Amino acid sequence: MSSHGSSRSVSEAASSHVWVRLPDGSRHRLPHGSTARDASALVVNGAASSVLAARVDGRLVDLAVPLRGECTVEPLLAPCQEALEITRHTTAHVLAQAVKELYPDAQVGIGPVIDEGFYYDFRRETPFTPDDLEQIESRMREIVKRDLPLRRIEQSREEATRLFQDRNEPLKVELIEDKGGEVVSCYQQGQFIDFCLGPHLPSTGRLGAFKLTSIAGAYWRGDESQPMLQRIYGTAFFTQEELDRHLQLVEEAKKRDHRRLGKELDLFSIQEVAGGGLIFWHPKGATVRRIIDEFWTAEHLRRGYQLVSIPHMSRSELWKKSGHMSFYRENMYRFQGDEGEEFVLKPMNCPGHILIFKSHKRSYRELPIRYAEMGTVYRAERSGVLHGMLRVRGFTQDDAHIFCTRDQAVDEVADAIELARYMLETFGYDRYEVDLSVRDPNNAVKYAGEPADWDMAEEALVQALKKVNLPYRRMVGEAAFYGPKVDMRMLDALGRSWQGPTIQFDFNLPARLDVRYVNRDSKEEPVIMVHRAVLGSMERFVGGLIEHYAGAFPLWLAPVQAKVLPITDRAAGRAHEVLRELAAAGLRAEVDDRNEKVGFKIRQAQLEKVPYMLVLGDREVASGEISVRSRSAGDLGTTSLASFIERCQEKVRSRDHQD
């Protein structure tokens, strides 16, 4: 056989099959034209119906995608997170199809997956109602029963534009013109077609359990200058049991919503006449804040921090030098002074702390220097993203900046992590997750600072985490451009994740503001700067605490620790004597001497989530004792006032977060 003929045979043989490598490392030969579904069936012993999608060479794809050459295939089955997101994405498409079938005048916008489920935006003159949601959900179930295949269609940008113009979908046309490439992918199920990158489930019949949850308004593409659309939210899970569990959790979360409890417990308010995103702390809320602040201050002084305080505004020149004016300008409140000079309400505290450090030349003998401040900052957030105490425009940040040498970095970071862990556990967050965010080694141009600085900083974070024996997840490519960081996410009583402490290296600001110290050789050297927050913002932290404890703060944090409840007017005098003794012992208490039945007073104190109720009647007045009720355990019997005070003082001293 000639060499030419031999070459043709090899080429023909190569094109007649594909080689597939599976997660267990095995290698398989499949016929040409085989799909991700065919390869996945090898993993699940032919039960391809249990596979929802696949990852081919690391890319998520539909099962119908044909395989080419040699590739690695990993099937996706329930209950993995990627399979759940694809399920939710397909459910969003079914929602859009149901809306179009029921309300042909509705124009479809976007329908992404979000943390708790999915949503889809629609333009329609008539507002959707809760009754409409029931109809839409019913039609979605019909579409699921039809078991419509989801077919991927690829066409030119021009063809896709004409397709959606003909279907009177101007929002889709705009998206294609903005985001579509030369080849545009769409998905079709029955008569419904959507511009989408995918991937999706094989058919509508593969959906699990779903529920439409609410309706809201949303500006098209998040732009307040664009039309207001109607957004339908929903969620989906693999099984009805998972959905029911989630909906139960949602109901419990509603009961714990800090906005509702903040009003009911008279902790804080947001006054629209003053502007959204600005928190007014009422006396009880301010008491909780003061207790946290005092604890925070004492702990920082004990650990060698120096407290500082900087102005709320400064010349814009500082923010130009720091670089914030270039990349953060839209989030900054700027105004003109009397002489025409521009000023900025500080959006962060770091440049101010740096100026204090630079107020005179620093020697290595002074380092480390740890500055800490409960500093109020202001950020120009859009009204649509404001959310109670959790997303605001003015907030007080528990900020600290550590200036140290390279040799001190590991110990300083380890100490900061230990402080953060101590703070979380003191406030009752016994569960938390830790992320180590590092640079993407394949995209070095994204990051400020020298590679050697990054090597040092990332290794310092790793060594610090090992030193405090804290497990973590390494997040490659998630570092900020100015340095790597450690993030601790606290899990509340419902298992929800909250943004918590962060420890962050910064190579950008020290370089831009020329922050140096004099080393042992009497030469100036760049300082190592670490940002550190253990609570985050006071507003968000207290909002999270309200939800974590459902408003029932532990004794040491409770704004009112005890209510004294006289049963009769004859006991009122003794009630006020008890109040004075409690106050003298450092306990926060109130007397409810209204002309009401004691049962009513007890119920009121329970609604206010007061830890203890001290009931005084003729018998208690005569004996000199008090009858104690706990908000969680009910009647605790009678005891002496001195004994009760001693017990409370011990719980406060130990910061016991259990009832």
Q: How do residues 248-307 score in pLDDT, each as one tens digit?
A: 999 999 999 999 999 999 999 999 899 999 999 999 999 999 999 999 999 999 999 999
Q: Indicate the angle between helix axes 572-584 and 641-653, nearest 10 degrees.
A: 40
What token pair was written down for 354?
A: 């740096």
pLDDT band at residue 13, thresholds of 50, 70 and 90?
Answer: very low
* The pLDDT of residue 474: 93
Q: Give the CATH class of 270-310+346-548.
A: alpha beta
pLDDT band at residue 103, thresholds of 50, 70 and 90?
Answer: very high
Which tens digits make up the pLDDT trace of 361-417? 999 999 999 999 999 999 999 887 889 999 999 999 999 999 999 999 999 999 999
- Any idea what the Cα angle at residue 523 is, between residues 518 and 529, rounded to 5°? 45
- Any idea what the Cα angle at residue 635 is, between residues 631 and 636, rounded to 5°? 100
Helix (H) or strand (E) holding 293: helix 283-302
What CA dihedral angle connects 304, 507, 541 and 115, to 10 degrees? Answer: -150
CA distances from 273 to 36, 333, 379 (A): 59, 19, 19
Q: Between 305 and 495, name the one with better pLDDT.
A: 305
The DSSP bridge pattern shows strands 117-123 and 107-108 to be antiparallel
How far does Cα 109 stand from its chain's mean position?
Answer: 25
> Of 537, 290, 517, 519, whose CA–CA distance to 398 is shortest?
537
* The pLDDT of residue 115: 85
**What secondary structure letter does DSSP report for 483?**
B
* 3.40.120.10, 3.40.50.300, 3.30.980.10, 2.70.70.10: CATH of 82-255: 3.30.980.10
Which tens digits make up the pLDDT trace of 502-527? 999 988 899 889 999 999 999 999 99
Asked if pLDDT for residue 649 goes beyond 80, the answer is: yes
Ranges of each domain in the chain: 3-77, 82-255, 270-310+346-548, 562-653
CB atoms within 10 A of CB 206: 19
Q: Between 637 and 8, name the one with better pLDDT.
A: 637
Backbone Cα Rg of the chain:
31
* The pLDDT of residue 60: 92
CB atoms within 10 A of CB 271: 10
> Of 302, 398, 368, whose CA–CA distance to 530 is shortest?
368
* The pLDDT of residue 311: 96
CA distances from 379 to 96, 147, 354, 382 (A): 36, 49, 20, 9
Three-state DSSP at 502 gives strand
* The pLDDT of residue 4: 39
State mean pLDDT over 626-655. Answer: 95
* The pLDDT of residue 47: 56
* The pLDDT of residue 122: 96
Asked if pLDDT for residue 2 goes beyond 50, the answer is: no
Helix (H) or strand (E) holding 498: strand 497-506
Residues annotated as part of the active site: 350, 379, 397, 399, 401, 485, 531
Three-state DSSP at 86 gives helix
* The pLDDT of residue 45: 67
List the beta bridge partners of residue 117: 114
- The whole-angstrom separation of Cα 124 and Cα 290 is 49
Instruction: Give percent above pLDDT 70 in the chain.
Output: 97
Beta carbons of 97 and 232 less than 8 angstroms apart: no
Q: Which amino acid is at 17?
A: H
- Any idea what the Cα angle at residue 301 is, between residues 299 and 305, rounded to 5°? 110
Which tens digits make up the pLDDT trace of 599-634? 999 999 999 999 999 999 999 999 999 999 999 999
State mean pLDDT over 566-591. Answer: 95
State mean pLDDT over 104-117. Answer: 93
List the beta bridge partners of residue 313: 345
3-77 shares its CATH topology with 82-255? no
* 3.40.50.800, 3.40.309.10, 2.40.10.120, 2.60.40.10: CATH of 562-653: 3.40.50.800
Mean pLDDT, all residues of the chain: 91
What token pair was written down for 553?
A: 């703060």
- The whole-angstrom separation of Cα 98 and Cα 264 is 40
Note the residue count of the chain.
659
Could you please report the per-residue DSSP string of 298-342?
HHHHHTT-EE----SEEEHHHHHHHSHHHHSGGGSEEEE-TTS-E
Which tens digits make up the pLDDT trace of 211-254? 999 999 988 987 778 889 999 999 999 999 999 999 999 999 99
Q: What is the CATH number of domain 3-77?
A: 3.10.20.30
Q: Between 116 and 415, name the one with better pLDDT.
A: 415
The region that residue 145 occupies, defined by phi over 0 for left and psi between -120 and 50 for alpha, beta otherwise, is alpha
**What secondary structure letter does DSSP report for 188?**
E
pLDDT band at residue 48, thresholds of 50, 70 and 90?
Answer: low
Beta carbons of 556 and 652 less than 8 angstroms apart: yes
Which tens digits make up the pLDDT trace of 184-213? 999 999 999 999 998 999 999 999 999 999
Q: pTM for this one?
A: 0.83
